[in-house]
A and B are shown apart, each in its own frame.
Chain A
Amino acid sequence: MIRFEGVTKRYADASGTDRGDGSVAVDDLTLEAPTGKITVLVGPSGCGKTTTLRMVNRMITPTSGTISIDGRDTASLDVAELRRGIGYVIQHAGLFPHRTVLDNVTTVPRLLGTDKRTARTRAMELIERVGLDPAMAKRYPAQLSGGQQQRVGVARALAADPPVMLMDEPFSAVDPVVREQLQNEFLRLQSDLGKTILFVTHDIDEAVKLGDQVAVLRVGGVLAQLDSPAKLLADPVDDFVAGFVGRDRGYRALSFAAAPELSLADEPTVSLGASADDVRAVGTPWVLCVGAAGEPLGWVRAAAVESEVTRTVLHRGGTVASTTGSLRALLDAALSSPSGRGVVADDDGRLVGTIRAAEVIPAIEARRDAVASQAPAEEATAR
């Protein structure tokens, strides 16, 4: 657990004298990052989120207040020792260009005195674990893409198996596709490792996606709200948080609502290669096509089939929801389906049935009523 108690960081004003009128980066922050959870600090530029993070490993010294890790005041520890016990991931990875990937990853274990062989064996495991080809171990950072460098950065931070990780906008310098990939793998990794993570980002979507709890900071380093992502979306405390959290909050909040058991309609299907007559025999304008294992492939417009169903005539606009997914995915499947019937599959990807948006809405309303009647509860997050 990382605990901030009344932490303030004030920079001396331009004249260089600290008369108390210097700029305040972090203002009397009290916050707890619970063990084994991801706590995200989010806010606009100048909200002191990076300053807050960097005070934990004393890259920046607080003006007042204390920061403790598992009950130990960080100010009382030797600074190099403190930092070696904390995983540190930064925006541009900060890999050492003169060292191979492998030697980058072994940095902290080597500083701690682990022998080279042990350190390298462990490093190889981590390189694979973060989704890199083991052959990459011998490469130099300049030979890697931005996303690959960031994976190495994460592996390097994990190398000494620190209980606490500090991550400063680790995924913001890569393109959106790679970013999403990195985020998903990061969540998967965290579900195995259960580190205590303090994560800084300026991207509210990233915060809501990754955080077990999200701390929204406003300019001047004041904590505006600390809540679970679902609570944050559902109930922003003020206009600033509401504005920062952004549009489509109602819809996005459904991401955190697990799909209830709904009665799904059976959907007649055709296979690839089915003749035009087979398709028209179903009798609906749009017919669902499934693969050999029963996995939904796409919708076919009956009128458009000339001789038989091929992959090229499939309409792929519809999303597929999972029976164990979220209400948001369920609603989106219905809304995106050309037939108006949202495709629902089980965890193995096999078609279970379809559902209409009009049938999802009552489930959403029922959930709202249930939540309102209880004390404000923490919803199970469905990712």
Chain B
Amino acid sequence: MGQTLVQKILARATGRSFVSVGDILEPAVDLAMSHENAALVINQFLEIYKGTGLEPKVWDPDKIAIIFDHRVPAESAKTATNQKIVRDFVANQGIKKFHDIRTDEMGICHQILPENGYIRPGYVVVGTDSHTTSHGALGAFSFGIGATEMASVWTLGRILNVQVPETIKITVDGKFQKFVEPKDLILYIVGLLGAEGANFKVIEFHGETIRNLSTSGRLTICNMTVEAGATSGIVPPDEETIRYLREVANVQDEIEIICPDEDAKYEREIKIDVTNLEPQIACPHTVDNVKPISEVAGVKINQIVLGSCTNGRLEDLEAAAKILKGKKIAKGVRMLVFPASGRILKEAIRRGYILDLMEAGAVVVNPGCGPCLGVHQGALGDGEIALSTTNRNFKGRMGNPNSEVYLCSPSVAAVSAIHGVITDPRNGG
């Protein structure tokens, strides 16, 4: 019997030829990622070693990545102190995949990992962040875990208690209309499955639309699979994956390609044709409250947010800059732009996108998670409404329980910024 991509990855990571759905495994971990919450991981890691008489030593410093992105530069003494604890630990343990607060290395973890070649097809990747699902875009089995679980991984080099998940196969065909983007597709899928529709399951993506997408678009899609509860999203690696790893991530060594078997068994199969898909909006206060833009157009906006691990890549900034070039953001609306990495920011400056956005009135913030989770910048006032290219609109998400967040694509964000209300980019930008 054939195996899904995740079954094959887990079989390899446990030295078997076959694993069945439901098996409980302890796969070896190829990459273990944390951000600022590494401070908590360190606390739990030292706790594990307490009383053992052993010197606390991570299993393999080359397989650990730590990226500061949630609160950069530090917004408080507490964060700054936590960051200092992490910096000291990283130096002591010899962890080299560490990205500090400087433009030549910083960015959001889910951009830093792929663009630095830390992710390869077939890897088992764990991260103390729920959007670790993103890295399935490169054919890895990549999922979010808690801080204590990460401390266990740092100790043992494997992750305990992984139950081989069922896989939902989604095949996407058709060509997107102009101004319809990967974000619209994943919002549509989250709406279709519901917030817990894929809980404990993996979503494997197939079809010509996915094959024609760049890795950037695939990252957007896999990023938000967790909003349907999925353990991970995954795209079988192909020529585009190799192109990205060679040309963008500058990977020199051999790249192994693992693909699902033709006769793999799926929990269910869903087919989607995007030919007539219109831009999608996730309405307050759940990500699965998704409506076509025609039902939401006209809602007045106070703040536009462009960026995040979902939509802060070069293609996203380009889409927005093209719409906003020579235009002005509506009076009374503020637009915040936070690119996904320093490298993206620099390239967007070179290409003129940043200037176009700034001349339209946007405020460009340093790379990082920014206002997405309401811990740093761009909090909303009471009764205010944000339209954002980020991934969550839970009550209180942008720092204020008395505000609302709508989620959309970069093109919708840009054209809505001009009009001050949610606007369909297909109806004239």
* B partners with A: no
Residues of A participating in the B interface, judged by any CB pair closer than 8 Å: none
